[in-house]
Amino acid sequence: MAYDERLTAPRSWWLIAVLAGVALSLVLLPVGPLPALGGLVAGAALAAAAVSAYGSVRIRVIAGSLVAASARIPLTALGEARALDPEEARAWRTHKANPRAFMVLRGYIPTAVRVEITDPEDPTPYVYLSTRCPDRLVAALESARTA
């Protein structure tokens, strides 16, 4: 495997999940202490499951393909890969964004990689991938393509 990254949610989101449980507990407190305790556990568990699911997206370069979330794109269909600094990444996910682009976008990750799609059959112009290590991802794509 040339590259593997999991786009985990920030630690502060886990605190928010606990606070969601506390909020549900406070809503149920007038009903009684047992429902309030159940609300704390259930609310925190549901919010934690949502945070975990959102942060489970992976980006991998493996077996001649770029695998990002649910997409598996052969390296032969990819063109130039470009690392984007935080300012460029913000531009490509806002005013420069193409609605046909495939985006694995995580707002809490400031840097990204933009990879051109060269397959004439594919209407997708590019792939935008939020990543904490854009230079490593670009290097992995280039080395996998030449291998």
For the residues 59-65, what does the mean pLDDT come to? 93
- Torsion, Cα 71 73 79 80, to 10 degrees, reads 50
The pLDDT, as a whole number, for residue 1 is: 63
At 145 the pLDDT is 86
pLDDT above 70 coverage of the chain, percent: 99
In the structure encoding, which two tokens stand for residue 140, read together?
């992995």
